[in-house]
Amino acid sequence: KQCNEEGEREREREREREREEEEEEEEEEQKTSKDNKLILRKEGEKVKRERQREKERERGRQREREWGKEKKGVGKQERRERKEKELERKRER
Instruction: Calculate Rg over the CA atoms of the chain.
Output: 40
What is the per-residue pLDDT for 79?
81
Return the pLDDT at 15.
95
Query: What is the reported pLDDT for 63?
Result: 87
Say how far residue 25 (Cα) sits from the centre of its chain: 32
Length of the chain: 93
Amino acid at 57: R
In a 13 Å sphere around the CA of 59, the CA atoms on its Cβ side amount to 6
31-74: pLDDT as tens digits: 998 888 888 888 989 999 999 999 999 999 888 888 776 666 66
pLDDT tens column, 7-33: 888 999 999 999 999 999 999 999 998
Higher pLDDT, 91 or 77: 91
